[in-house]
Amino acid sequence: MQETSILIEALSPHGLNYRLIRSDSGSKTLPLVLVMGYGGSLLSWPPAFVHELAQKRDVLIFDSRGTGKSGKLERGNDLRMLHFVEDLQQLLEHLQWDQIDLLGYSMGGCVALEFAGTHPERVRRLVLQSTTAGGALYTSSDPDVKEKIMNPRGTTFDELFFDFFSICFSESAFELHRPDLQIICDQSRPYPTSPMVLFAQLAAFRNFDASPFLEKLTAQSLLIHGTNDRLIKPENGKRLAEILPSCQSLFLPETGHCPHIEQQKTVVNRINEFLTNK
């Protein structure tokens, strides 16, 4: 197996903290940009998942505005997906990348959809994991799940972290993958996301609606969704798969909101296949 290394970790001129990981494979494929979901930073990605993806290509992970080491959130309730798109566009310009492959997870999938819709020339292939098109196409989570998101239980970072992730897995899967979650918890603990940022992100998510441009997207897409996802129900993925042109889909049985953790090997293999096949 090829080794991977962090080539760069820096702040962009616009205040976004990013990390570029690359293998020694010598591959000339397009870089893959990963967009994290609600409340997460670049430290929310499982290291093993990023490492495996970086065996064949450059991988870029970054802290969205207000998370991790990125600049403080200047906007309040008026935060929209287009603001995250603007941040990503500025980051690509800083890196002088004309085109990328793009993977968006959960709310990050909404950002990825919006980016592909507004900058189609920038995205060759699009991977959407555990996400939704929003608007009238959105199927909401059950009341008990929404209540837990709005009212997390705990006083310490660790208590709040594991309380949230308890609704991302089945009870058995949660215990099985607790060591993986502990790694993410430990590396994220120094950079907690503030309640103000979480509230603003939820507002942006609620206002998101990709339905006007879904059928016009030009990038080939791969949709990955767990059939037991309680946060973003699988009906959301099914609608995306039906509407998106040139869309392949992978629905993973008995899998919750984190397929990249529960089914890491399967997910990495499918992403690699999708990105490398002509």
- The DSSP line for 134-183 is BGGGPPPPPHHHHHHHHS---SSHHHHHHHHHTTTS-HHHHHHTHHHHHH
Is 248 among the domain residues? yes
Is 82 among the domain residues? yes
Distances (CA, A) of 277 to 27, 30, 95, 266, 273: 14, 13, 26, 16, 6
* pLDDT value of position 1: 46
**Cα 186 from Cα 203, distance rounded (Å):** 28
Is 174 among the domain residues? no
Phi, psi (rounded to 5 degrees) for 62: -150, 160
pLDDT per residue as tens digits for the range 107-150: 999 999 999 999 999 999 999 999 999 999 999 999 999 999 98
Beta strand spans in the chain (E): 4-11, 17-23, 32-35, 59-62, 100-105, 123-129, 220-226, 247-252
Is 162 among the domain residues? no
Provide the residue-wise pLDDT of the chain in tens; the chain has 278 residues.
455 577 788 999 989 999 999 866 656 789 999 999 999 999 999 999 999 999 989 999 999 999 999 987 666 557 789 999 999 999 999 999 999 999 999 999 999 999 999 999 999 999 999 999 999 999 999 999 999 998 889 999 999 999 999 999 999 999 999 999 999 999 999 999 999 899 999 999 999 999 999 999 999 999 999 999 999 999 999 999 999 998 999 999 999 999 999 999 999 999 999 999 87
* pLDDT value of position 27: 63
Domain containing residue 38: CATH number: 3.40.50.1820
Is 153 among the domain residues? no
Is 105 among the domain residues? yes
**Cα 232 from Cα 251, distance rounded (Å):** 13
Is 179 among the domain residues? no
* pLDDT value of position 73: 67
Is 187 among the domain residues? no
* pLDDT value of position 7: 75
Q: Into how many domains does the chain fold?
A: 1
Q: Look up the domain containing 215 and give its range.
A: 4-142+194-276
* pLDDT value of position 4: 57
